[in-house]
Chains A and B, each alone.
Chain A
Amino acid sequence: MAAEAETASTEPLLKTPFHARHVAAGARMVPFAGYDMPVQYPAGIMAEHNWTRESAGLFDVSHMGQAFLVGPDHETTARALEALIPADIVNLPPGKQRYSQLLNEEGGILDDLMVTRSADPDEDGALLLVVNAACKTQDYAHIEARLPANVKLVKAEHRGLIALQGPKAEEALAALNPEAAEMGFMTLRTMKLGGVKANVSRSGYTGEDGYEISAAADRIGEIWDALLLDARVKPIGLGARDSLRLEAGLCLYGHDIDTTTSPVEAALNWSIQKRRREEGGFPGAARIQREFAEKPARVRVGLLPEGRAPAREGAEIATADGTIVGKVTSGGFGPTLNGPCAMGYVAREHSAPGTRLDLIVRGKPLPATIAAMPFVPNRYKR
């Protein structure tokens, strides 16, 4: 039997503030983006996935990059960031969060990120950025090289980040602070959780209602421990995080989006607000405006294979006559769907939901249908 090799590296692996807790809980640790991270706990990916869908899963996402962009006022900081991303940040209200992408000059995606405006009037001019672990060094260099003199990037490397996701996340977090229940989707509040000051946003990466909680690295373990005392909460590894986000139709950087894909090709049009579409003024605006007007030549779609065999990343997508029209960028088995699902890029003329295509798996065509995403309905708290 031969399994896929884990990514090997000679660099020593970094550890999050929760490393010892993962090991003590019996997690299987794997190298991920330079960190030694839990891929699964003893319950296994299927059980962890299902637990998150039914109750509340607790994820260590401290490997992700957290940084503050700090300028003299919101307008100045927002304009500096808008020069790098296509989202409308100038009109982002205090305490609100938006998903966007750092773009290169060709409109390709350097990384995707969450941008949150501080809710605190004393912090007017501060934006919190959360970027991908594997991209953070390049992202920070890219951003810093393009900031005006009065806006600074302040890396928050002394902070940890956890995600609490699932239908019982609200009850579990509200047990530590009732304010959590009052929050709307994509909002941020600063609150005390068991004596620890935390920045809490109502967001996540599983399609479920939930929260992301950022706090000082030397205190965030107390929040983790307090949440795990709740019978509704169990720790969940990166394996289930991947199957959850795939069912939710969410992009994984380096797989579903990269420097060659634009946000329009990636079907992330919703993340580019009207003002920015019209005004442009972000890297690659000419390409992206053209793609909005004319539609892109290829587009990210959902794919549902017939039967139970999963199609993985890299599988080619073909028409019935064998013409290759695209490639799978993420694929696997969806425990909630109880079947395989995938996403990938196809030529636009083959992208309509219901279109039947073949996925080439181990040399054989596997019939599949283009399907609307998410594969499992989102349950965000609007």
Chain B
Amino acid sequence: MAETRYTKDHEYIRIEGDTGTVGITDYAQGQLGDVVFVELPSVGKALTKGGEAAVVESVKAASEVYAPVSGEVVAVNSELEAAPGTVNEDPAGKGWFVKLKLTDAAELEGLLSEAEYQDYVKTL
């Protein structure tokens, strides 16, 4: 069964086996406003935990999306090129950015659970 973990920077990673799907949370898309462009890494790129995984541009500003854990990019959501607004409409579903093959599953331990993240958002 898939489990989703969160960062305090509002990224999520949905774990299925040894891969994880990375995106930004509904709270984050709300803060960003209308997403007009997403810059994605190339497949095969090695990302390190906390490093840049993608860049999201809203009408107003550019924001970096960080890798919640280290891993190799095995897929990117190229549909976002034509339809960046999907990040606003369905951030946890069709609005994902990259899929990572995890290099150190132990890094997941430091991330927030769904309940912990929801509690954290309430404090903002």
Contact = CB atoms under 8 A, between A and B. Distances in A.
Contacts of A243: 59
In the complex, which of the residues B58, B59, B65, B81 has the most CB atoms of chain A within 10 Å of its own CB atom? B59
Contact of A333 (B31, B59, B81): B59
A1 B56 contact: yes
B72 interface: no
Interface in A284-332: 308-310, 312, 332
A308 B84 contact: yes
Contact of A309 (B24, B28, B34, B39): B39
In the complex, which of the residues B9, B31, B36 has the most CB atoms of chain A within 10 Å of its own CB atom? B36
B65 A45 contact: no
A44 B10 CA distance: 20
**Interface size bracket, A side:** 20 to 34
Nearest to A5: B61
B39 A332 contact: no
Contacts of B28: 1
B25 to A, nearest CB: 9
Given A45-B33, A362-B39, A1 B59 contact: no
Given A308-B84, A309-B57, A310-B57, A1 B33 contact: no
**Interface size bracket, B side:** 20 to 34
A49 interface: yes
Q: DSSP class of A's interface residues: helix, strand, loop or mixed?
A: mixed
In the complex, which of the residues B34, B56, B63 has the most CB atoms of chain A within 10 Å of its own CB atom? B34
Nearest to B65: A1
B96 interface: no
Contacts of A332: 59-60
Contacts of B65: 1
A1 B57 contact: no
Nearest to B10: A1
In the complex, which of the residues A4, A40, A44, A242 has the most CB atoms of chain B within 10 Å of its own CB atom? A44
Given A1-B56, A44-B33, A239-B59, 10 more contacts: A1-B10, A45-B33, A46-B33, A49-B59, A239-B33, A243-B59, A308-B81, A312-B61, A335-B59, A340-B37
24 contacts: A1-B9, A1-B10, A1-B64, A1-B65, A1-B66, A2-B9, A2-B63, A2-B64, A2-B66, A3-B63, A44-B33, A45-B33, A45-B58, A45-B60, A46-B33, A49-B59, A309-B37, A309-B39, A310-B57, A312-B62, A332-B59, A333-B36, A333-B59, A335-B34
Interface of B: 9-11, 24, 28, 31-34, 36-37, 39, 55-66, 81, 84
Give me the 7 closest cross-chain CB pairs, A-B, nearest first.
A46-B34, A333-B36, A4-B61, A3-B63, A45-B59, A308-B37, A1-B10
